[in-house]
Amino acid sequence: MGMTLDLSGLKVVDADTHLIEVGDLWTSRAPAGVEDRVPHVEDVGGEPTWVMEGTPLGPAFRGSVIARDGAKTDTVVARRDFLLEDVHQGAFDISARLAMMDQAKIWAQVVFPNNLGLGGQSVANATTDRALLTTCVEIYNDFTAEMQEQSGGRLLPMAVMPAWDVGDCMREARRAHSLGFRGVNITADPSDQGAPDLADRAWDPLWGVCEELALPVHFHIGNSDTAMSFYDKYFWPSQTENVQWAIGGTMLFIGNARSIVNIICSGMLERHPGLQIVSVESGAGWFPFVLEALEYEMHENAPADFAQLSLTPLEYFQRQIYATTWFETRDLAYLVGRLGEDRILFESDFPHPTCLYPDPLKNASENMRDLSPTAIEKILSGNACRLYKL
């Protein structure tokens, strides 16, 4: 169609952004007596590093490629050199983020963790003290609930789940709902933390709570140690460091395909028809092929199991799964036609390496030029407003 988008009056919702955790996030909120046991920043080998119970969790203040002056920086350089004072203030400061959103004409942003782990998984490796781990999750969720309130409901964090225990997740989901959260964020591999895998019906009570409270369940790429293996195990070692980032980032999408096919085959969606799932930062282009392939494979290899499902994989997607898109251009019209315009969300991925910056809506206008005005409105605004009750 080649149209220029008229977005005046449209409440554009960016369905995937990130928050760089500041150094005193946990220590300033910790109960008396555990201030030195919660995540805090130490110098490890000359690098600021998140540490908990003596265990390094990973580099601190990393993840943003947007510099303080607004320039987009080479991924490897930013990863190596950037400290908190080097990155765009909108990556960690609420007022600066809102100002950036106003400039970009973004009404609301969904916010995910950064160094905590994209599925909140990092702290679980530091200690077996479940009470301390629960405290860490509650502190993070309390902090982001405050952020949502301070932003006037424009920054929408997804509550991190304590995935080492189903009962703890149920309690935290209910607490998150009472705090005003619009959804939850969970690892796809709680078995990494000693809990049953998500195909186990032990998790059904949590899905029931999320269904009851209308809390969408989010699976962000790289949301577990297992999922992150798709990043760091599949490039050939002789590739340059920048190419390794590119290959690793691409393979992370495949990690979410793994999650989606397992979710469908587990019967989770069959047993909880009101449960909504969001595949975050994974793109949309692979969905038609993977869903068709899964239907064929189930028909050929597991017909008895397939017979227990009342819908095809595509039909489950169209009823209960959302995909996110930001860079896809060539086949977006095909994807909308194949998947449906009601199940795709727009995102920018600020401030990560492949984010749409500084003008995400310019990118969206170019990417969506072949879509109908109705589809454009739904992807940029309507679908997210419906999902998050905005």
Specify if 62 maps to a domain.
no
Strand pairing category for 40-44 and 13-18: unpaired
Q: What does pTM read for this prediction?
A: 0.96
Provide the domain count of the chain.
1
What is the CATH classification number for the domain harbouring 17?
Answer: 3.20.20.140
The parent domain of residue 313 ranges over: 13-34+103-388
3-class secondary structure for 276-340?
CEEEECCCCCCHHHHHHHHHHHHHHHCHHHHCCCCCCHHHHHHHHEEEEECCCCCCHHHHHHHHC
Length of the chain: 390
Specify if 143 maps to a domain.
yes
Specify if 286 maps to a domain.
yes
Nearest to 3 by CA among 309, 364, 279: 364
Q: Would you give per-residue pLDDT tens digits along the chain (390 residues)?
A: 445 567 778 999 999 999 999 999 999 999 999 999 999 999 999 999 999 999 999 999 999 999 999 999 999 999 899 999 999 999 999 999 999 999 999 999 999 999 888 888 988 888 999 999 999 999 999 999 999 999 999 999 999 999 999 999 999 999 999 999 999 999 999 999 999 999 999 999 999 999 999 999 999 999 999 998 888 889 999 999 999 999 999 999 999 999 999 999 999 999 999 999 999 999 999 999 999 999 999 999 999 999 999 999 999 999 999 999 999 988 899 999 999 999 999 999 999 999 999 999 999 999 999 999 999 999 999 999 999 999
Specify if 2 maps to a domain.
no
Specify if 72 maps to a domain.
no
Q: Distance between CA 219 and CA 332 in Å, rounded?
A: 22
Which residues make beta-bridge pairs with 18?
112
Specify if 219 maps to a domain.
yes
Specify if 84 maps to a domain.
no
Say how many C-beta atoms besides its own lie within 10 A of residue 373's C-beta: 12
Q: Distance between CA 4 and CA 6 in Å, rounded?
A: 6
Specify if 54 maps to a domain.
no
